[in-house]
Amino acid sequence: MSSSTRIRLITPADAAPIAAHYARDVEAFRRWEPAQPPEFFTPEGQAARIDRLLTGHEAGTIWPGVVLADDRPIGQITMSTILPQPFLRRASLGYWIATTAQNQGHAGRAVSLALTVMTDRLGLHRVEASTHLENLASQRVLRRNGFTPYGVAHAAILLDGRWQDSLLWERILDEPGTGEGAA
């Protein structure tokens, strides 16, 4: 693992590299990602999506991040559905890493860095995530970062033309994490 991993807020300049990763990896991601219209895979489509994400960030409901390896965008990590109210203080976490950068530890390090953002910058208490039941690699990333599974959402997401179940994960941020890569 010769490259370093960082995360930062996404910017409009990230549209072209993100579009290139999505276009190249469309078949590899078919099992894990919902179908998208053709414009999603273009720099213009990604620029429009990034603009929407940044509008949500300004409203305080999302923290859209880009995952970097040696300062090159290789994926995204997003804290969404942020509820900062004192009695809730939670968010949902999603992430992906381009196939050219997978199996190098970037996802685990990005999740660990996101946990720090959620705790130190956003003051959150709880984070949730979900994985496809068969996505063992993503489940390992979450488990190593102190997440535990807590249920199954049946027919929760339309993937590759059929409704599929998701495994639900949680982590309480006020408690120390466990395992490798814990924040």
pLDDT beneath 50: ranges in the chain? 1-2, 178-183
Grouping H, G, I as helix, E, B as strand and the rest as coil, residue 75 is: strand
Nearest Cα residue to 12 out of 53, 41, 47: 47
Topology of domain 5-172 in CATH is: Aminopeptidase (3.40.630)
User: Residue 179: its pLDDT value, please?
Assistant: 37
**Domain map (residue ranges) of the chain:** 5-172
Which residue stretches of the chain are H helix?
15-29, 43-59, 106-116, 136-144
- The confidence score (pLDDT) of residue 31 equals 84
Q: How does pLDDT run across 38-69, given as a tens digit for each residue?
A: 999 999 999 999 999 999 999 999 999 999 99
Give residue-wise pLDDT tens across range 98-115.
999 999 999 999 999 999
